[in-house]
Structure 1
Amino acid sequence: MEFSLTTPALLFPAISLLMLAYTNRFIVISQLIRNLYQQHQQTPSRFMRLQIEHLRTRVRLIRAMQAWGAVAFIACTLSMLLNLLELGTWPLYLFGGSLVALLVSLIISLVEIIISGYAIRIQLQGLDRPRGEVKGFDNET
């Protein structure tokens, strides 16, 4: 099998765009947590607390996505470097490792998207109820 320098180079734009998307998600969710926390301090509610807990989980997942994306980027870069130095099959192994790391990052992203959908359903349930109440929840802390 021929393994050229352009093979891992194809992954660079994809990983870069994913890292940018992950960072944007992290920033938006962090800001949302700050806003909800301030609201919760003023008017505590179990509903808001539940939202904050879901967002905390999502932030942890996004950090894991970013870490695995960074590992994929590093492995891809090392693969190109070792390929330039013509070091046998090591570039191929590192490229395979970068693909595995990217796959792990994408799987974690899928989990985060599922949790995000659940959180949105909770939020939409709040539209059908009096302010701050969701099925099974009340405004008690």
Structure 2
Amino acid sequence: MNLTTPALLFPAISLLFLAYTNRFLVLAQLIRQLHDREGDQVRDMVYRQINNLKKRIALIRWMQGLGVFAFILCALAMFFLFIKMDLVAEVSFGFSLLLLVLSLVVSLYEIAISTRAIQIELEDLATHHRKDGEAGKGSD
């Protein structure tokens, strides 16, 4: 292993951080939008989303934390290679890869949960659509 091997991960990890940050910002914006909505029907949907949103925030925190530690270990691997501590560098790089994979697995789980959130929204829309359709038939 040479110095360029762990250096190859730097752009990938940086892009991963960008993606994770974007997911967090979108989630924060969604929470703010849900908080600002009015009406009892909307509140019911919001309450159904709360556990989902809390879980997603926690997962994003884990994704980012694992990614940070992967980045740190990758940088340490480069440092250890620089000072000719090859075995320590390889172990550090190996753990870096493991943390990166764990971060991606957590990300995959968070994506699965986010699709459940979309299903809740769709169920809510379908319920409102049925109610609006029934109300329209009664007025004819």
TM-score range for the pair, normalised by the shorter chain length:
0.7 to 0.9
Number of equivalences = 128
Secondary structure class of the residue paired with 2:63: helix
What's 1:4 paired with?
2
What's 2:24 paired with?
26
Aligned-pair CA distance for 1:87: 1.2
The one-letter amino acid paired with 2:39 is T
The one-letter amino acid paired with 1:22 is Y
What's 2:39 paired with?
43
- TM-score with structure 1 setting the length: 0.85
Identity percentage of aligned residues: 48
Does the 8 A contact of 1:37 with 1:52 survive in 2? no
Does the 8 A contact of 1:76 with 1:94 survive in 2? yes
- Partners of 2:80 and 2:119 in 1: how far apart? 48
Could you give the per-residue CA deviations for residues 46-72 of structure 1, whole angstroms, max 9, x where no partner exists? Answer: 221112321221111001100000000
- TM-score with structure 2 setting the length: 0.86
| Structure 1 segments unaligned to the other structure (5+ residues) | 134-141
Does the 8 A contact of 1:61 with 1:109 survive in 2? yes
Aligned-pair CA distance for 1:34: 1.4
**Which of the numbers 67, 70, 82 marks the counterpart of 1:69?**
67
- Partners of 2:55 and 2:10 in 1: how far apart? 28
| Structure 2 segments unaligned to the other structure (5+ residues) | 132-140
Aligned-pair CA distance for 1:125: 1.5
Displacement over 6 Å in runs of 4+: none
The one-letter amino acid paired with 2:61 is R
Q: Which has the higher helix share?
A: 2
Q: CA RMSD in A?
A: 1.5
Could you give the per-residue CA deviations for residues 88-111 of structure 1, whole angstroms, max 9, x where no partner exists? Answer: 300000000000100110010010
Q: Which structure has the bigger radius of gyration? A: 2
- In the TM superposition, what are the counterparts of 1:1-141 in structure 2 within 5 Å? 3-39=1-37, 42-44=38-40, 45-130=43-128
- Partners of 1:88 and 1:7 in 2: how far apart? 12
- Partners of 2:8 and 2:23 in 1: how far apart? 24
